[in-house]
Structure 1
Amino acid sequence: MSDTKLPFECPSSLNEYLIPEKEFYIQNPHYNMLCTGAVVFNSEGKLLLIQRASDEKAFPNCWEVPGGKVDDDDETLLHAVARELKEETGLDVTKIVRKVAEFGWKEKHKRTAQDQSWLKHIFEVEVKEMKEIVLDPAEHQRYLFVTEKEVVNDKVGDVQLSYITPPNKAVKLEAFRLRRDAMSA
């Protein structure tokens, strides 16, 4: 990465993610698709979840943390986290706090039928201000701030939470655990 000042704070423990997507693939040749996720807690300690649009081709109506594919023009993986959060919620990252989790999966490309090996890195972030969440209705239809108990029970009031895969739920619970551990340290 260049010596330019980052647009967000970042602990040195995350320097390995201050690399461009192409460099990541050189260092990790067994992956060819990379995405990120952003864990955001509000002042009450609730986690932001967004619900995929009902007409999305992939995983309609599922609840997730904001995030998406790292783009070729993202300066680094951490810049991709900030960009995706801004695009999906309108929130501006001020600090990348910690890495929460990572998980991978394989799938066939829809058009070419070639194997794709995905890896998703999820980071807890802090934002400039918790203003109104602005969703792109083509991608997401609702948002909620949820407690750990609500994630455990897959229910917020009368809203049933469904996730893309079991690891997606586990990531949310790990985010709560890491935050709790950091606050008690």
Structure 2
Amino acid sequence: MSSYNFKVNVSCVIKKDSDFLLIKRADDEEVFPGHWGVPGGTVEPTDPTLEDALIRECMEEVGVEILNVQPISNDINDKGDRGALYIVFKADYKRGELQALDGTAEAKWLGIDEIRSLNLTPKTLEMIEACL
């Protein structure tokens, strides 16, 4: 019997006034090194809910708290022996000093025009534009 590895990942488009929070992935990251995207990560077995996982990931990656969390999209990626469910949320910035933490090279509040000029991870622009 073969094993099947399935993960659930959450990510968040965080808005503060008219800007969005983007992170630049570290150059040594395995997936999309040096690309810009939104905070997020894998749901852990200890996370009571998807929202709790998202709140934890935002604190771990950029040190900010969020509120008004709402799901905006989901997608399944199946690669035969492994798969993932990606759930994207939008939220408002609540508080916290923006920091680049946990595999994050940079973290910035950026306007949509600046975002469009960056080297983005796939679907990042689509996620942000869904929140305009």
Query: Is TM > 0.5 for Structure 1 vs Structure 2?
Result: yes
Displacement of 1:148 after TM fit? Answer: 2.4
Compare CA radii of gyration and give the structure with the larger one. Answer: 1
The answer for the alignment partner of 2:41 in structure 1 is: 68
The answer for the alignment partner of 1:95 in structure 2 is: 68
Question: Is contact 2:16–2:93 with CA below 8 Å preserved after alignment?
Answer: no
Report runs of 4+ in structure 1 exceeding 3 Å deviation.
Answer: none
Aligned length, in residue pairs: 129
1:81 to 26, 51, 54: 54
The answer for the alignment partner of 2:93 in structure 1 is: 127
Displacement of 1:115 after TM fit? Answer: 1.9
The answer for the alignment partner of 1:164 in structure 2 is: 121
2:113 to 123, 142, 149: 149
> In 1, distance between residues paired with 2:131 and 2:72?
6
TM (normalized to structure 1)?
0.63
The answer for the alignment partner of 1:104 in structure 2 is: 76
> In 2, distance between residues paired with 1:49 and 1:168?
9
The answer for the alignment partner of 1:40 in structure 2 is: 14
Question: Is contact 2:98–2:108 with CA below 8 Å preserved after alignment?
Answer: no
Displacement of 1:75 after TM fit? Answer: 0.2
Displacement of 1:88 after TM fit? Answer: 0.7
Aligned alpha-carbon RMSD (Å): 2.1
> In 2, distance between residues paired with 1:121 and 1:78?
10
Unaligned runs of 5+ in 1: 1-30, 108-113, 156-160, 177-185
Q: In the TM superposition, what whole-angstrom CA distance separates every residue of 1:90-134 from its partner, at most 9, and x where no partner exists?
A: 1122331x2222223234xxxxxx6212111111112332x4212
Q: In the TM superposition, what whole-angstrom CA distance separates every residue of 1:1-26 from its partner, at most 9, and x where no partner exists?
A: xxxxxxxxxxxxxxxxxxxxxxxxxx
Higher relative contact order (CA 8 A, sep 6+): 2
- Secondary structure at the residue paired with 2:16? coil
Question: Is contact 2:99–2:107 with CA below 8 Å preserved after alignment?
Answer: no
User: Relative to total residues, which structure has the larger strand share, 1 or 2?
Assistant: 2
Unaligned runs of 5+ in 2: none
Q: Report whether the alignment pairs 1:175 with 2:124.
A: no
TM (normalized to structure 2)?
0.85
